[in-house]
Amino acid sequence: MSNTPASTPRPSEITPEAWYLNRRQWMAGAMGLGLSALLPGWAGAAGTWATRPSRFSTDEEKNRFEQITQYNNYYEFGTDKEDPAQYAGTLKTRPWTVRVEGECEAPRTFDIDTLMKLAPLEDRVYRLRCVEGWSMVIPWVGFELNALLRQVKPTSRARYVEFTTLADPRQMPGVRSRVLDWPYTEGLRIDEAMHPLTILAVGLYGKPLPNQNGAPIRLVVPWKYGFKSAKSIVRIRLTDTQPATAWNKAAPQEYGFYSNVNPEVDHPRWSQATERRIGDLLRRKTLLFNGYGNEVARLYQGMDLRKFY
Ligand SMILES: Nc1nc2c(c(=O)[nH]1)N[C@H]1C(S)=C(S)[C@@H](COP(=O)(O)O)O[C@H]1N2
Ligand SMILES: [Mo]
């Protein structure tokens, strides 16, 4: 029970329409009671959300705020785990826009403050499994990517989604080194992108995202290795062909397009059978799809997960 979120509705059961309606109704109620301080999304002066657990959340113990914000991968700010916390202060997160374009009828540029308001009143407490062999449990605040994609009306040719993140050498010292071919890009198949577990996170622990965690907006795909969860996104493009991804370009035999967490498919240089939860002494077994198999296994029915790693 503790390893998987409570039973998840099928994507078709959670329409963005229903979700907006719920939120509107909730807001109307809150207004009526004079509880405007509890309004979702908009953080107001305090910059916080009043959140409640989501049915998608794991009830495993959460990592502490300090662990989540001081042990990071964000190569634009350096490759050591302490670098992002130390150097990401130079990242300017306002003004900020996210361009959503490509195979869609209504391409649009969204302002970050508009997007922040889409985040509902719930924490998405997700496991994050890094390909390097460590994991954390993080209470994200965010909204389902499908809610944004539906707004631009994808065409029938939209089979994949490409994510492009900021690469500004003036703000990001790591971009001057050649560890990756900047900008950092990632990709999902359209059904993965539309899945209700896939979110754009704008906060954690009820506060706007710290820069080192990918402010002001980052992807979170909890059944895939952490590197799929691109930080500080500036562009989302619907495509008809599989997009190139930064890690696949850097080392194709090590990092495939799918990168689903899989204890049976080893990284060429190490086993993926176990992981260390940050804060724990002993390693634990890694779960197929990071424990989200009940929700996502059907997306890969009939696929050879060794070939499509
Ligand atoms: N733009 C960008 N996004 C990125 C990375 C990065 O280096 N640059 N690192 C990835 C990796 S390897 C992981 S494990 C997660 C870490 O997210 P966290 O530091 O918020 O836990 O971010 C991912 N997103
Ligand atoms: Mo990672």
139 with 279: CB under 8 angstroms? no
In a mutational test of the pocket of ligand 1, which residue from 65, 73, 164, 207 has the highest number of ligand atoms less than 8 Å from its CB? 73
pLDDT band at 47 (very low <50, low <70, confident <90, very high): low
What is the per-residue DSSP string for 70-111?
Answer: HS---GGG-SSTTHHHHHGGG---SS-EEEEEESBSS-EEEE
Q: Residue type at 98?
A: V
Beta strands in 62-206 (DSSP E): 97-102, 108-111, 122-129, 134-144, 160-165, 185-189, 199-204
Residue 44 has pLDDT above 80, yes or no: no
**Using the 8-state DSSP alphabet, how is residue 14 labeled?**
S
Structure confidence at residue 50 (pLDDT) = 83
User: Which contiguous run of DSSP H or E holds residue 112?
Assistant: helix 112-116
296 Cβ contact partners less than 8 Å away, ≥ 6 residues apart: 192, 195, 197, 223, 260, 289
The tokens for 75 are 């190569």
Nearest alpha carbon, ligand 1 atom 14: 226
Mean residue pLDDT of the chain comes to: 89
Structure confidence at residue 48 (pLDDT) = 83
253 with 268: CB under 8 angstroms? yes
Q: Rounded distance, CA 102 to CA 107, Å?
A: 7
Residue percentage of the chain with pLDDT more than 90: 82
Nearest alpha carbon, ligand 1 atom 1: 231
Q: How many helices (H) and strands (E) does the chain have?
A: 8, 13
138 with 125: CB under 8 angstroms? yes
Residue of higher predicted confidence among 12 and 267: 267
**pLDDT tens by residue, 80-122:** 999 999 999 999 999 999 999 999 999 999 999 999 999 988 8
Check: pTM over 0.75? Answer yes or no. Answer: yes
Give the environment of ion ligand 2: residues with CB less than 5 A.
Answer: 73, 130-131, 226-227
Q: What is the dihedral of CA 304, 127, 277, 213, to 10 degrees?
A: 110
Ligand-binding annotation for 229, yes or no, is yes
Q: Average pLDDT in the 60-74 region?
A: 98
130 with 226: CB under 8 angstroms? yes
Query: For the chain, how many residues are written?
Result: 309
What is the per-residue DSSP string for 214-268?
Answer: TTT-EEE-TTB-GGGS-SSEEEEEEESSPPP-HHHHH-TTT--SS-B--TTS-BT
Q: Rounded distance, CA 56 to CA 58, Å?
A: 7
Quick one: which atom of ligand 1 is closest to the CA of 68?
Answer: 21
Closest Cα to residue 272, out of 262, 281, 282, 280? 262
Structure confidence at residue 53 (pLDDT) = 85
Instruction: Kindly state which CATH superfamily the domain 17-300 is placed in.
Output: Oxidoreductase, molybdopterin-binding domain (3.90.420.10)
Nearest alpha carbon, ligand 1 atom 2: 231
Please report, for the chain, the start and end positions of each structural domain, with discontinuous segments joined by +: 17-300
Q: Residue type at 208?
A: P
